[in-house]
Amino acid sequence: MKDFELSYRARKALMVHIGEEAGAEIANLINEMATEIQELRRTKVSVTKIVPGAVTETREFNEEPV
């Protein structure tokens, strides 16, 4: 699995604009979220809903003369 990581330039831009500590925290959070998303995509399964005895709804319309 390919790990996602922000580039040095992206990390540096965050640190310059919002501060070193906050920038590092946000960059680490983004990396963790990207890793989690990759894991969710890797383990994704399709779910088919099965409804036993599904009742088809029928509607009757009464037409009245205009």
Q: Is position 65 within any domain?
A: no
The whole-angstrom distance between residue 13's C-alpha and the CA centroid of its chain comes to 25
Full residue range of the structural domain in which residue 25 is found: 1-58
Q: What is the pLDDT of residue 25?
A: 93
Give the count of domains, the chain.
1
pTM, whole model, 2 decimals?
0.59
Q: Is position 14 within any domain?
A: yes
What tens digit of pLDDT does each residue of 7-58 get? 999 999 999 999 999 999 999 999 999 999 999 888 887 777 788 776 555 5
Q: Is position 43 within any domain?
A: yes
Q: What is the pLDDT of residue 1?
A: 46
Q: Is position 38 within any domain?
A: yes
